[in-house]
């Protein structure tokens, strides 16, 4: 849905973080915003999730979009997600904390576990949103206040 609308509007995805942007500003404004904390990286499933996190007002780092989540039933393996790009960004951009803002369902948990495992050898701290988010839902369905509490109360993954 989101991708279809993006194509229609002449919008594309940022080559670095995967957020919606335009061809004229790639990397996007969030990636090039020097007032943001580049050592803090928020990992989301879809570009639309970035809008939700932004509306919470609790996060001033940068983003990385996976393009989905791991799902054996839908044949979504790690190679179909932007996980390799995430690892290279963590190594290349001096990231100190990766905040996983993923769905609270089984696939989201599996994805978080996989990423924590892949990043285990890095010096980076991996955190997840605190509970308080509705179970079995994506973060796009959270209201800004709930999401803000989940970000502030994040815990180590």
Q: How far apart are CA 43 and CA 40, in angstroms?
A: 10
Q: Is 133 in the site for Zn ion (CB under 5 A)?
A: no
- Residue from 16, 69, 89, 148 in contact with Zn ion (CB under 5 A): 16
Total number of residues that touch Zn ion (CB under 5 A): 7
Tell me the CB-side half-sphere exposure of residue 33, using CA atoms within 13 A.
12
Q: Are 12 and 21 within 8 A, CB to CB?
A: yes
Q: Is 89 in the site for Zn ion (CB under 5 A)?
A: no
Q: Is 154 in the site for Zn ion (CB under 5 A)?
A: no
Q: Is 13 in the site for Zn ion (CB under 5 A)?
A: no
- Residue from 13, 31, 81, 83 in contact with Zn ion (CB under 5 A): 31
Among 116, 146, 151, 115, which residue's Cα sits nearest to residue 133? 146
| Binding region for Zn ion (CB under 5 A) | 14, 16-17, 19, 27-28, 31
């Amino acid at each position: 849905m989101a991708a279809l609308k993006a194509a229609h509007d002449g919008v594309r995805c940022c080559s670095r973080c995967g957020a919606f942007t335009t061809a004229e500003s790639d990397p996007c404004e969030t990636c090039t915003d020097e007032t943001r904390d580049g050592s803090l990286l928020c990992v989301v499933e879809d570009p639309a999730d970035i809008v939700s996190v932004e509306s919470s007002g609790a996060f001033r780092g940068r983003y990385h979009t996976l393009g989905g989540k791991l799902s054996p039933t839908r044949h979504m393996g790690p190679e179909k997600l932007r996980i390799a790009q995430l690892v290279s960004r963590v190594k290349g951009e001096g990231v100190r904390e990766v905040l996983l803002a993923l769905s609270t369902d089984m696939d989201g948990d599996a994805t978080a576990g996989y990423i924590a495992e892949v990043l285990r050898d890095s010096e980076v701290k991996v955190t997840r949103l605190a509970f308080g988010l509705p179970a079995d839902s994506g973060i796009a369905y959270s209201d800004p206040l709930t999401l803000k509490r989940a970000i502030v109360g994040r815990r180590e993954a």
